[in-house]
Amino acid sequence: MERRKFTREFKVEAVKFIQERGVSVAQAARDLGVHGTVLRRWVRERTADPQQAFPGPGQMKPDQLAD
């Protein structure tokens, strides 16, 4: 089975769905077809660093780049 990939935009909108609309993680998971654990991780990542969350495949956060 191939691992599903989600765009940064999808992840941001999923987090907004939970945070701004007050939808529970469980309900959002059912509506979006994503596991609740994945959504909780996305919320944590977006809350910790909104500008740098979800850098995408092959992209590293600025603090991870070697000097």
Among 22, 7, 14, CA closest to 54: 7
Give residue 67's pLDDT band: very low, low, confident or very high (50, 70, 90): very low
Among 65, 56, 66, CA closest to 5: 56
pLDDT at res. 63: 59
**Amino acid identity, position 41:** R
5: Cβ–Cβ under 8 A, 6 or more apart, which residues? 57
Q: Tens digits of per-residue pLDDT, 2-58?
A: 888 899 999 999 999 999 998 999 999 999 999 999 999 999 999 998 888 887 765
CATH code assigned to 1-50: 1.10.10.10
Domain boundaries, the chain: 1-50
Angle at 52 between CA 48 and CA 56, to 5 degrees: 120
What is the average per-residue pLDDT within 56-64? 56
